[in-house]
A and B are shown apart, each in its own frame.
Chain A
C-alpha cells in the first residue's frame, strides 16, 4: 500500500512538472514582450529594459524556468520601486495588470469555486444515485427507457444550454428566483444557497445522468454476483441484501468517479461560472486570458492541474481501499 501511494504521488508530480514545463515553454515562445506588458503602455524603452532585467528575462529559458520552479518552493521578493513585496512559499508570480500575487488571487477566488463544486456534487449524487438505484431495483422497460433517454440528453447538452434554459424558466417566466448573484457563505448562508441553486442545478442535471447510468449498471452487476446469490439462497431478504451487501460494491465506482469529477470542478467549472457570474477561479482564468495576463493564466492552470492530478490519485486510492480485489501496481 505504501509503495503504491509513493508511486502514485511520484507519477502525479511528474505529470505536474511536465505540465509546468509545457506551459512555460508555450508562454516563452509566445509572441509579445512580457516586459512591455508588465510595464504598461506608457513606459519608455529604458524603463522596459530595466523591468526586463528585474524579471530575469535576459536569462536563458531554462534558467528562467528553474527560477520559476524555485519560487514555488522558496518564495520570492519583488521590488516595487518603493519597497519589496514578499511572495511566500508557493509563489506563482505576480499579475502583469494589477501587481497582485497570483496566489492571493487564487485564494480569493477559491471559496466561490468550492461552493459551486461541493453543492453541485451533493445534488448530482442525490439525483443520480437515486435514479440509478431505483431503475436497477425496479427493472421495467419504462424506467429503463426513461433513464436511457435521460442519459443521452444529459450527455448531449452543454452546461450553458441547460443553464440558459433554467434562467429562462425560473428567473424570467416563473420569476421564482432572482438572477443569481454570488453571496459568500460567511456573509449569509441562506442567500448563499438561494443564489447558487440554479448553477448547482445546471451542473447537477448533466452530471446526474452519468451517475444514474453508472449506478444502475454497477448495481445490476453486483446483484448478479455469486455471493449475493448465496445470500438469497440463505433466505436473506432482498432489502437487507441491497442495503448491507450490494451497496458497498455497487457504489465503489460511483465514489471514485465523484472524486475525479470534483477535481475537475475544483479546476473551475468555467462555463457555469461565466454564465451565472460566479466569481471563481474559472471566471478569473477567462478574464485573465482576455487581458493576456500570463502569470495569472499559468498560475491558475497549474492550480487546476494540481486539483485534477490529486483527484485522480485519490480516486485510485479510494477504489483500492473500497474494493479489495483491485491489485495495486
Chain B
C-alpha cells in the first residue's frame, strides 16, 4: 500500500484534474481517424441542421406541412398524386401525399425535428435516471443496492416498447405527443445505463485512489463527484451513443403503430404508418420516409460504433497500430458483445 497506492492516487488525481479537456480533444482525434464514424457524424450534423432549419427550408420551397392540395390528386385513380414519382414538381420538390395532397418535402423536414427531439431528449433522460439509479445502487448499502437492482431488473427485462404502449394507453389524448414519447422512452429504457454505472462504481469503489480520497476526509458525495464521475464518462458516453439510434427507432415504431405522433403532425414513423396501405399505388410515398429513417438510424449506429472504438483504450491503441491488426482483433470484440447480449 505504499508505492502502488501512491501511484494509483496520483493517477486518479491526474485523471480528475485533466481528463475533461484532454479527453475531448483525444476523443475527437480518435473519431476523426475512423472514416465511417466521421461520415455518420456528418450525416447527423446535416440532420440537425435540417431539423433546426425546417421552417426556413419549407419556406424556400413555399409549402407547409398541413395545407391540402386536392387539385393535384387524380381522384379517378383513387386520389393518387398526378405526375411522376408521387407528383414531384417545381412546387412540390418531393411530391405530395395521396388522399390529402400535403407537401412531402415539408413534412419530411419537419419530421426530422420530432425524430431528433425525441432521440436526444429521451437519451438525456435515460442517462440522468439510469446514472442516478446506478450511482445510488453502487454507493448504497446492501439493502438499497438490492432494492434498486431488482427494480432495474424489471426495467431491463421488459421490452421498453411494450411498457411504453401500456403507459401511453392511460395518458389523456391532449398531452403533446412528442414530449410524451420523450418522457415515456426516457423514463422506461434506462436499465442498461443503471447496470453499467453500478458495475463501474462497484469496480472503482474499492480502488485505492477512492479510499485515499475518503481518508483525506471527503464525504461520500464529494468522492462520488470528484473521483467516480470521471471514471463513468467513457462507459456512459459509449452506451448513450448506442441509445440514440434505439430511441430514433422506438419513436418511429410507436408512431408507426399509431400510438405515437399522430397526423396532422408529421413524423417519419407516422408517415410510414399512413403510407403502409399505399405501397402499391404510390411507392414514392412509402420509400421517402423509409429511406430517411434508414439513413438516420444507420448514421447514428455507425457513429456509436466509432465512439465505442474511440473510448475503448484497447481498441484505440489498435487504431494506431494499423488496420490489418485492428481487423483481426475485432473477432475478440465481437465475442464480448455476444456475451453481453446473453447475460442480459
Contact = CB atoms under 8 A, between A and B. Distances in A.
B290 A19 contact: no
Nearest to A210: B341
Contact of A309 (B151, B157, B258, B276): B157
Contact of B169 (A144, A157, A165, A297): A297
Interface in B174-230: none
Nearest to B153: A15
Interface stretch (A41-49, A54-62, A118-126, A268-276): A268-276
B331 interface: yes
A6 interface: no
A271 B257 contact: yes
A23 B334 contact: no
Interface in B307-344: 327, 330-335, 337-339, 341-342, 344
Interface in A151-181: 152-153, 155-158, 160-161, 164-165, 167-168, 171-172
B293 A257 contact: no
User: Which range contains the number of B residues in contact with the other chain?
Assistant: 35 or more
Contacts of A158: 249, 252-253, 256, 293, 297
A260 interface: yes
A155 to B, nearest CB: 6
A27 interface: yes
B286 A164 contact: yes
B142 interface: no
A289 B298 contact: no
Interface stretch (B20-28, B75-83, B128-136, B160-168): B160-168
A215 B21 CA distance: 40
A216 interface: yes
Interface residues of A, number: 66
A315 interface: yes
Contacts of A157: 294, 297-298
Interface of B: 150-151, 153-154, 157-159, 161-163, 165-172, 245, 249, 252-253, 256-259, 272, 275-276, 279-280, 283, 286-287, 290, 293-294, 297-298, 301-302, 305, 327, 330-335, 337-339, 341-342, 344
Contacts of A116: none
B166 A289 contact: yes
A122 to B, nearest CB: 20
B254 to A, nearest CB: 10
A32 B170 CA distance: 8
A22 B154 contact: yes
Contact of B335 (A26, A148, A218): A218
Given A260-B344, A308-B159, A221 B335 contact: yes
Contacts of B157: 15, 305, 308-309, 312
Interface in A283-329: 285-286, 288-290, 292, 294, 297-298, 301, 304-305, 308-309, 312, 315, 319
B165 A214 contact: no
